[in-house]
Amino acid sequence: VINQATQVLEKRVRDKTPDLAENFGNVLVGKAINPEPNKTRIRFSQIPSEQEGFASLFRGIIGAFRNPSHHRFLENVSREQALQICAFIDNMLAALETAEVIREI
């Protein structure tokens, strides 16, 4: 389920930035979600520390959960942990849904 949830998250980022569609994982996130509000394609906040927080969360979820689940079976994740991770990704998807997409930076 972690694999599928992270794929959905990655696809939604890609859907918001179709010109970056050939990118995957943290390359995609790095190009789409910059920590600086004036240099980003997907803006969550005009407040630099908040934008940086979202950029860090997206990079973190990709690095910590997407990459491992795409390259091997995660044997040490309990059902409860998987549900918690999926619930967190659901919150990230909700934030992404309301984020501002900047066409030109």
pLDDT tens profile 16-49: 999 999 999 999 999 999 999 999 999 999 999 9
Helix axes 48-61, 25-32, angle to 10 degrees: 170
Report residue 73: phi and psi, to 5°: -75, 130
Cα gap 53→18, rounded to integer Å:
23
CB 86 within 8 A of CB 69: no
Q: pTM, whole model, 2 decimals?
A: 0.89
Output the pLDDT for position 77: 82
